[in-house]
Chains A and B, each alone.
Chain A
Amino acid sequence: MSTTTKPLSQIRNFAIIAHIDHGKSTLADRLIQTCGGLEAREMTEQVLDNMDIERERGITIKAQTVRLAYKAKDGIEYQLNLMDTPGHVDFAYEVSRSLASCEGSLLVVDASQGVEAQTLANVYQAIDNNHEIIPVINKIDLPAAEPEKVRKEIEDVIGLDASDAVLASGKSGLGIDDLLEAIVTRLPAPKGDTTAPTKALLVDSWYDAYLGVVILVRVIDGYLKKGQKIKFMGTGAVREIDRVGMFTPKKVLLDALGPGEMGFITAAIKDISDTKVGDTITDERNPAAAPLPGFKPSIPMVFCSLFPVDASDFEKLKDSLGKLRLNDSSLHYEMESSQALGLGFRCGFLGLLHMEIIQERLSREFDLDLIPTAPSVVYKVYKTSGEVINIYNPVDLPDVVHIEKIEEPLIKATILTPDEYLGGLLQLCQERRGVQLELTYVGSRAMLVYRLPLNEVVFDFYDRLKSISRGYASFDYELDGYQENDLVKMDIRVNEEPVDALAMIVHRSQAERRGRGLCERLKDLIPRQMFRIAVQAAIGGKIIARETISAFRKDVTAKCYGGDITRKKKLLEKQKKGKAKMRMYGTVEIPQSAFINALKMGDDQR
């Protein structure tokens, strides 16, 4: 068996865990450059963040892997496989996959910012995966850097020994050599068996216009080679490998991937849904006895509907969602028809950031002008018939007489904040029906843990949190089961007719506040018309808020004589055409733009 693969003892696989803006991507860039993966002239900022949106927002959405060659002080050239992982909770699923394919993690903490809420969740995941963790205190060259304070925070908040944390600066290159040495000496080598039947973890897959579906793998036992017939143990599909390779980060073709190694394969697969993330790949003729433990599939938690502003863009929206789904199996969508907004799609997302990113990619990459409805969550409705149904869209909520009870998803939220903003944040969590679980201090910072209903968070919680704390508080959450609550469907009615796109499920105690807010906003957004317009918020038959838009008083042509009749008729024709973007509510026509703007603004902005 000819192998160009490395012995296990010379391989190190590691992930990088960091909060947004703590310098993870810059540090990764520096590691790549130091190991000669790219020439200086080839370096763009944040090499691994391929998507424009990733670079601009400083976030990582898709996991990436890079193989580095590092000649250590012991004279041996090691193969380092760097796994760049998303930091955001919405992509926790991607994180879990990435972590499962590594033996160690670098925990990157900004020397002036300290430990953030998001960092916590990811570190705990790494610990759960039995990772060896190297704390890296980054940006130590900044004037505001307080490495000792941060070292203490890592110990107090996370509970990790940070006495031998690496002090580094991704920007200046300071400490990079120490870091590379630490990776080699402190992280364990992967385990594996070169003689056992092939067993590899399907870490991720995506569609590439030139190569078809590209599969990112981590080999556990045996080898993956060009021409080999492989079997996907989960789906049962059999394919022949036509390419084996690695990223340096450039694509480089190889003969084979051996135990402990990471890389990619292609196998003439056209549809990404044929490649299930977490699946085990084995040799068809000499299969492994048992598959690796898989992942639990991601489930969408936040839902909203997307409608094209221009109804003729519906097909384009459908195609675009299809294209995005090629690379994002966590995106769910199905067609929806709204009286107010026409044809669109009800979409399910992993979380708020995921939703925002999809919306932004649709508008940016596919040039679509969209109206998103207010985000909502998945409710469990127990019907009097004994049936339990999931409600993804408030419009679908059954009549109250058929409802036994409604359960809503809860989250456990962790907030880290400088203590001067604590009061405001406590109030925010309280307003949002939160239950305090923990309040601890770490130096001048407070760590708050709250149990909150997800539907109180999906709307504008994060914006409020940021504005209350002037951007200093960080926030992270994990799902924490379902709970029965006094939830009601609130309709917004325009001249007695419900506007489906504005219906929402809210807690009874919040209904009046939110109903009043929405009515007031619509009053400003709906232009005065020939008839008085009543805007109401209602729960069932009960009106809880009401606004009246008075009619305009004067609109009449001053002169209409013999020659003016034709002109006036033309005006009338034009008027009729202008109504294409209007919807009838009783006797009132409401411009679509009023709904768009009502949906655009946060619930509590007044």
Chain B
Amino acid sequence: MNTALYIHWPFCAVKCPYCDFNVHVAQDIDQARWAVAYRRGLDHYAQLLPDRAISSVYFGGGTPSLMAAETVAAIIAHIKALWPLAPQAEITLEANPTSTEIEKFKAFRAAGINRLSLGIQALNDQALKFLGRKHDAAAAHRAIETARSVFDRFSFDLIAARPGQNLKDWEDELKQAAQLSGGHLSVYHLTIERNTPFYFQHAQGLFNLPDDDLSADLYERTQDILGAAGLPTYEISNHAAHGHQSAHNLAYWHYRDYIGLGPGAHGRLTLNGVKHATREHQAPPVWLDRVENSGSAAHAFEPLSEQMQFEESLMVGLRLSEGISFSSFSVEGETFEKKIRTLIAEGLLERTQTHLRATLAGRMKLNAVIGFLLADSQEQTSTGAQTV
């Protein structure tokens, strides 16, 4: 079975004011010690999953571009030693466009990374400053050009629907981004998460976000511009030229198996025919300690009932432009079918030959669509929680 592999590097140089991910600002990280721990963690999963082939690897974080290239190289080498890994398998690393990191791009390439995902976020200094980023627009351009020259494939992130953003400004910025693109672009609408500096600033009224209508207009304009630029949307926030879609991220959205290694990393693994949710200890020191002492920092795996699997696959599958294939609907019931018909009538869902998918209007309010589909979903199937 093909399995994707996610490696979480939990450290950042600074924490961004909008970020609520499991990241920690730490200096003096013992790279060698972490490299050993990741290798031990991999050993543990290899024992559990001996017959797998790794289809993609993704170094996320945190800021994995702060990893020493040697650490990355050691991990990739170890993966190859434990499982078959196709020579063309996508191996992505997230990177920030600061000068020190740009200098390491070649070394990452040599370590085995073949795809870079850059945290550009914005192409003007004022926005970058507001977002608390450590780079400016000039550094962003430099990082993009370096990535283009070093890697075959690269992507970068932009944050849209920022305070005070109007349609015209966004149009200009996005067209510029499309021109700079390496075939893949992620555009995220700014989201205010709890317990972040932005959350408290927003609560105090220090800035306002675009309202529902402007936010929707910004999203629609993004689809138009990137579609016309040859970067059609293939997921809510992701756009790619043909053949440039992220194989690793598609594994999540297709609800395939993936290993999650590193502090706070999540995975979905089929063991004895049952899909399990996995989760590793969040705190970096505890994670390190557990891996060093017992080989793994994973919490007990949680078996997922068919109903839960169905809900999760629906939740992620409908994010894709192609939608979710009918074969995933083994558990649908009459009520569910009725809800789907309602959503189709409302122009939020549509059926193709093989798939059920959300329309543009449906994708724009997918949370509500999924909420509607899954409300009282216990009634839809009699499949209770399964024990293993």
Q: Which residues of A contact B (CB under 8 A)?
A: 528-531, 551-563, 565-566, 568-569, 571-572, 575-576, 579, 587
Whether B305 sits at the interface, judged by CB under 8 Å, is: no
Query: What size tier do the contact residues of chain B reach?
Result: 35 or more
Whether B369 sits at the interface, judged by CB under 8 Å, is: yes
Bound complex: CA of A531 vs CA of B362, how far in Å?
Answer: 11
Bound complex: CA of A555 vs CA of B371, how far in Å?
Answer: 11
Knowing A554-B219, A575-B371, the reply to whether A563 touches B364 (Cβ < 8 A) is no
Bound complex: CA of A248 vs CA of B258, how far in Å?
Answer: 87
Whether B316 sits at the interface, judged by CB under 8 Å, is: yes
Q: Specify the chain B residue showing the minimal Cβ separation from A532.
A: B346
Q: Is the CB of A562 within 8 A of B260?
A: yes
Contacts of A551 in B (CB 8 A): 365
Q: Which one of A531, A553, A560, A576 contacts B213 once the chains associate, using CB atoms below 8 Å?
A: A553
Q: 24 interchain pairs (CB within 8 A)?
A: A530-B365, A530-B372, A552-B212, A553-B365, A554-B219, A554-B364, A555-B364, A556-B366, A558-B189, A560-B315, A560-B316, A561-B60, A562-B4, A562-B252, A562-B265, A562-B267, A562-B268, A563-B22, A565-B266, A565-B268, A569-B312, A572-B311, A572-B315, A576-B374
Contacts of A569 in B (CB 8 A): 308, 311-312, 315
Known contacts A559-B237, A565-B315; 5 additional CB pairs below 8 A are A530-B372, A553-B215, A559-B188, A562-B258, A572-B370
Bound complex: CA of A555 vs CA of B216, how far in Å?
Answer: 9
Whether B109 sits at the interface, judged by CB under 8 Å, is: no
Whether B286 sits at the interface, judged by CB under 8 Å, is: no
Q: Which residues of B contact A (CB under 8 A)?
A: 4, 6, 8, 22, 60, 188-191, 212-213, 215-216, 219, 236-237, 249, 252-253, 258, 260, 264-268, 277, 279, 308, 311-312, 315-316, 319, 342, 346, 348, 361, 363-372, 374-376
- Report the minimum CB–CB distance from B372 to chain A (whole Å): 6
- Report the minimum CB–CB distance from B85 to chain A (whole Å): 18
Q: Is the CB of B375 within 8 A of A579?
A: yes
Q: Specify the chain A residue showing the minimal Cβ separation from B312.
A: A565
Bound complex: CA of A568 vs CA of B308, how far in Å?
Answer: 12
Q: Which one of B252, B265, B267, B367 contacts A557 once the chains associate, using CB atoms below 8 Å?
A: B367
- Report the minimum CB–CB distance from B117 to chain A (whole Å): 11
- Centre residue among A556, A557, A566, A571 by max chain B CB count within 10 A: A556
Q: Specify the chain A residue showing the minimal Cβ separation from B315.
A: A568
The 6 closest A-B pairs by CB, nearest first: A553-B216, A530-B368, A558-B188, A563-B266, A554-B216, A556-B366
Bound complex: CA of A587 vs CA of B268, how far in Å?
Answer: 34
Bound complex: CA of A556 vs CA of B367, how far in Å?
Answer: 5
- Report the minimum CB–CB distance from B258 to chain A (whole Å): 6
Q: Specify the chain B residue showing the minimal Cβ separation from A530.
A: B368
Q: Which one of B8, B190, B236, B346 contacts A560 once the chains associate, using CB atoms below 8 Å?
A: B236
Q: Is the CB of A553 within 8 A of B315?
A: no
Bound complex: CA of A562 vs CA of B255, how far in Å?
Answer: 9
Q: Is the CB of B367 within 8 A of A555?
A: yes
Q: Is the CB of A560 within 8 A of B319?
A: yes
- Centre residue among B311, B316, B367, B370 by max chain A CB count within 10 A: B367
Contacts of A563 in B (CB 8 A): 6, 8, 22, 260, 264-266
Q: Is the CB of B215 within 8 A of A565?
A: no
Bound complex: CA of A569 vs CA of B279, how far in Å?
Answer: 15
- Report the minimum CB–CB distance from A14 to chain B (whole Å): 64
